[in-house]
Chain A
């Protein structure tokens, strides 16, 4: 770590200094880093071995790397890998008043100084590293200027060969822009599929188009100023780019989406994907984004890929899978897992089948059992069929991952009267009782993974006003519009603090850092991620319709965060 002057402790300067290592002007391009060319030619293997040290803390022998913290506490594992603090991009991070500087080769091997657009150059804050001083820094904690590092930086007892590998990898890290950005424009995509109802799709795309248009109007003069920036302001003006929106429309079955996405990205690479709205699971898009190292930010989906979290895809919530977990947890809390317990879902309808599968697995993991009834594609079950289904749950619990149309027969049959509880999801059923008979409303419980309706106008005041002013407010697509506005505002905020470092990994890292600060949380109670966390909202309410308040949806529990997250 650079031995910064004491001013680093002064709060207003911290943010500035966080990027300071990354602003150093006049650093060489990646190819000019001493030794970089040889690294590229012969040292690919060395850099790969160095990457394992940097990211995984694994030495070439397979042994874990140890770091000495606070003098002599030897730690190994994720928490003392280089990348845990300096991050995947190598561009560093801040926490509170603590600054972790950038360690990309282009920055380390150049003198650190405030960038200026015209001579004279600003004073040197840190001389350039050489291979020898960089190795000394990692092993002994002495900076390029000969000063000892901050105690936050561990010392790494690595041998010369191991240090060479790590240094070879650091030289490959650089701040060159990723695809999707040129001198004037930054390209973004959003993804929609042709199965999304046209009115919803329009309401969603309206938000993106209006946001892009306004952003470009507001910053067009800053882009012009960059050409004539005062000598000390080049870094402030030069990062402005025109935002260009590409709508990637997917057609056909989800299995065919990756090929369509690959064709779009090949034709016009984008820097990141902002939001998205598809009819079906997000998994194919998720897989594409992870394979392409393409940030995929806050899609509006109930069906995120949850099996293995990626790096590049950031979700608002675990969606219907989370709802299944919360339903299980509530049934357990209420002592209702002992049965009878029946769940009904639509076979081959992902938004019904996915939570049903998750629910059954969760119930069984808790030692309970559930009778599963799949409704085949086609007409909704009639009253007789519902009579038979509800009969199996008589005196117990019926969980229905269904919409109002499929439940008409249940209401008509009167069989719900024999249930102790009926569990529904507001994501599928909606937030109003509809045709649900008054007697059933007493025993119906709805999982609701958003803020309560009574809270919503307060939460959405920022977007609603903006959408109305733009003439695109569509209350029937409230959720999609709110989510799109959230994704856009956060991406804009992250781009602003990234300055000119158009590195995709850095975009994700900035979002990890700032999502919790968002003043706008869409329809969610709270939104926050962190390094390695990829779901912003973690819980849900169990709600019911309150006959004393015009059947408004009210909470019967606190915000429940299931442990299975």
Chain B
């Protein structure tokens, strides 16, 4: 029953304002800077001590990276920490290593209020990281709408959605 459940797909134009962030190497960055790439962007939200859905979501991103193969370098993958006071750049680097994240896959942290604002901008803020839901977002280019996948989408689902996105 649950084994067959599917994710829900929808399209959105999010009104994104800029927010200060910290990249996993410890350097300052911003949301606008991270998204201003002429490439497709894939986003999810995780925290390193999450015991339920994050390991699976991160494993899924790892598999997406593998399935894209050399094409992965044409994509930007961003995982935002929703527990930024605990998820320091050092912890994010260790977490990224655990999932074999390549250079195109960056983890972001920063000030709690800024990360809450980012979650709200993408309508994924649930008030408590323990109420966190599995959502994946993707966009072909800065001029295109966001495609939102709610639910545990498999790597195959995400790759298929990505192919649909870049083909149109």
Contacts and interface: CB of A to CB of B under 8 A. Distances in A.
A5 B1 contact: yes
B56 A69 contact: yes
Given A77-B98, A150-B2, A526-B112, A93 B49 contact: no
B55 A8 contact: no
B interface majority secondary structure: loop
Contact of A563 (B53, B89, B131, B134): B89
B154 A70 contact: yes
Contacts of B88: 563, 565
Contact of A96 (B5, B53, B154): B53
B1 A6 contact: yes
A325 B131 CA distance: 31
Contacts of A77: 98
A530 B49 CA distance: 6
Nearest to B49: A530
B51 A84 contact: yes
B152 interface: yes
Nearest to B111: A558
Given A151-B154, A513-B130, A565-B88, A4 B2 contact: yes
B143 to A, nearest CB: 31
Contacts of B111: 558-559
B122 to A, nearest CB: 15
A71 B154 contact: yes
B47 interface: yes
Given A6-B1, A526-B85, A565-B88, 20 more contacts: A69-B59, A69-B60, A70-B56, A70-B59, A73-B62, A84-B51, A93-B51, A96-B52, A96-B130, A96-B132, A150-B3, A151-B56, A152-B52, A152-B53, A517-B128, A517-B130, A528-B85, A530-B49, A559-B112, A563-B26
A72 B60 CA distance: 10
A530 B86 contact: yes
Contacts of A71: 154-156
A193 to B, nearest CB: 31
Contact of B132 (A75, A95, A151): A95
Interface of B: 1-3, 5, 26, 47, 49-53, 55-56, 58-60, 62-63, 83, 85-86, 88-90, 98-99, 111-112, 126-134, 152, 154-156
Contact of B90 (A1, A84, A563): A563
A94 interface: yes
A4 B152 CA distance: 16
A383 interface: no
A4 B2 CA distance: 7
Interface stretch (A202-210, A276-284, A287-295, A532-540): A532-540
Given A530-B47, A563-B88, A95 B59 contact: no
A3 B131 contact: no
A95 B130 contact: yes
Contacts of A531: 49-51
B56 A152 contact: yes
B52 A517 contact: no
28 contacts: A6-B5, A8-B2, A69-B56, A70-B63, A71-B154, A71-B156, A72-B63, A75-B55, A79-B58, A84-B51, A85-B51, A95-B50, A95-B52, A95-B130, A95-B132, A96-B126, A96-B130, A100-B51, A149-B3, A150-B5, A151-B3, A151-B56, A152-B52, A513-B130, A517-B130, A530-B50, A530-B83, A539-B85
Interface of A: 1, 3-6, 8-9, 69-73, 75, 77, 79-80, 84-85, 87, 93-98, 100, 147-152, 513-514, 516-517, 526, 528, 530-533, 538-539, 558-559, 561, 563, 565
Contact of A538 (B49, B59, B63, B85): B85
A168 B41 CA distance: 46
B80 to A, nearest CB: 16
Contacts of A514: 130
A516 B98 contact: no
A94 B86 CA distance: 21
B150 to A, nearest CB: 10
Contacts of A9: 5
Contacts of A72: 63
Contacts of B5: 6, 9, 150
A69 B55 contact: yes
B148 to A, nearest CB: 15
B52 A93 contact: yes
B2 A3 contact: yes
B164 to A, nearest CB: 20
Contact of B55 (A80, A513, A526, A561): A80
